[in-house]
Structure 1
């Protein structure tokens, strides 16, 4: 009887958390879909490297939000699936968890080229180069996924793939060294990205000091964009430490563990992925005017 009361007491907070999560995910997805529609509607965005990369972050973030939300629902209601199917789902999720931060780093480099190497911007950031860059982004982003799953394939028995489990990346971790390998790999990857962002910021800052008039205004805007990219990367980096925090809390209290895990999901999965629309969708004047036009069903004319 006490166990049933405890379960009933726990269910309401879970239901409330689920409702809050669904509302946030739906809001972010609707905003992202509106921005994606704006990108595809206006042809001038299709030839600009920064807008193409921006669209890539929107698509990858929307997909990641949708898939991770499904896993959250399954976890809350304790729904299980066979491990082989979970492997496929998590392989895609592991890829797109990394695609956004790698794309942000590339967008920072594009900003650096536009401000510090304006004469070579057209050559280095052409549409063709951007398409090649998207392939490279996916190639680099797949490295952690390949390493994590390779370690799992070596450790798991064939019978394990037929078992039913609550789908989570944690079910692929059999040994402590696998967890350390995953952490080291992500930390190294994000360290390289942070170095690139700091390098670009310092270079753009030097140009900002020497610039004047309109150039100074444009350069300062570029500096703010790089800073926002850096903040997004910081949130993504903290996300990598969440499993260690959750593991420590799990030993103390399961209910506290669930609360901490929910907080981490909102702060370090959802929040970084709602910043992209703010950075480019609302701060960029050209894109913002196009967005207003399509969001108002054409009543607000394009400039």
Structure 2
């Protein structure tokens, strides 16, 4: 319980910043966040602009990943601005925001797992890919991802409801709204650590096994070397994305370690830098990686990003 209290007290570091410094740091986080939200929004629009994207499994999965990342990015920035402005809220409102943010956090790694398996089937079972990976099976996979993640949120809500709110004078929070502030009972902290380890360890094993399988298949004489190489690189990118997502999930533990060794004002400044690199950047990499790497998406994405100016680029095959 001591760790939870230490993490909760971190949010009070904002009081050591002057108004000008808070405004500066808020601007430095809001500008890149808005820029990447715009890119993600354009990417999401692009993936719904053509029937070929709406009817291809890997693009449907990519849309699901981008949707979760975009919503989580917006929620994280909202919570940061509220904390920087010293705005507190009631437990119910904070709980809704945090649980929605947690839901999006769980969607990303699970979607990466499904995307890696799709690439594995495409390379290792090319003749059966069209039968196994259909629009229906893709939709079912996404439904399972959302259902599994929603079950986690339900468990967290039930644990949170065991807290004796009736003993409080008011439902108004004394702390700023954050994930750690909603660890109202010791069990919540233990469950969060256990569930996070389970999800990311399982996802890591599946993605690594998919990478090994694709690598072995790439050496087969009957396999298309170019397609296998692209699939291998894609699965490797999924593993990197999983690591970046994990880094944002472990953000609280990192803050706990830093708050013990740094002066409070220094800690607050480092906390802001970490927010940009740990929360904002990983949430925009999916759009940049797939949007610029995929030769089918790239020209359409650039067309929309450039306000529909005509580009002398012809879409190629990915």
Same fold flag (TM > 0.5): yes
| Structure 2 equivalent of residue 195 of structure 1 | 205
- 1:48·1:127 contact (CA, 8 Å) conserved in 2? yes
1:252-291 to 2 correspondence within 5 Å?
252=261, 253-291=263-301
Find the partner of 2:310 among 287, 299, 302: 299
Structure whose residues are more often helix by fraction: 1
Unaligned runs of 5+ in 1: 1-5
Unaligned runs of 5+ in 2: 1-13
| Whole-angstrom distance in 1 between the partners of 2:283 and 2:221 | 32
- 2:159·2:187 contact (CA, 8 Å) conserved in 1? no
1:72-221 to 2 correspondence within 5 Å?
72-160=80-168, 162-165=171-174, 166-211=176-221, 215-221=224-230
- 2:299·2:314 contact (CA, 8 Å) conserved in 1? yes
| Structure 1 equivalent of residue 47 of structure 2 | 39
Q: For 1:83-113, what per-residue CA distance to the aligned partner results, in whole angstroms no more than 9, with x for missing partners? A: 1111111111110011112111111111111
| Whole-angstrom distance in 1 between the partners of 2:70 and 2:188 | 29
| Whole-angstrom distance in 1 between the partners of 2:151 and 2:281 | 24
Secondary structure in 2 aligned to 1:154? coil
Structure with the bigger RCO (C-alpha within 8 Å, sep 6+) is 2
- 1:204·1:219 contact (CA, 8 Å) conserved in 2? yes
| Whole-angstrom distance in 2 between the partners of 1:188 and 1:136 | 17
Q: For 1:218-254, what per-residue CA distance to the aligned partner results, in whole angstroms no more than 9, with x for missing partners? A: 1111111111111111112222322122123334432
Q: For 1:143-171, what per-residue CA distance to the aligned partner results, in whole angstroms no more than 9, with x for missing partners? A: 43233322221124235572234211212
- Range with bigger deviation, 152-161 or 52-61: 152-161
| Structure 2 equivalent of residue 235 of structure 1 | 244
| Whole-angstrom distance in 1 between the partners of 2:314 and 2:246 | 39
TM-score (norm 1): 0.90
| Whole-angstrom distance in 2 between the partners of 1:234 and 1:295 | 28
RMSD: 2.2
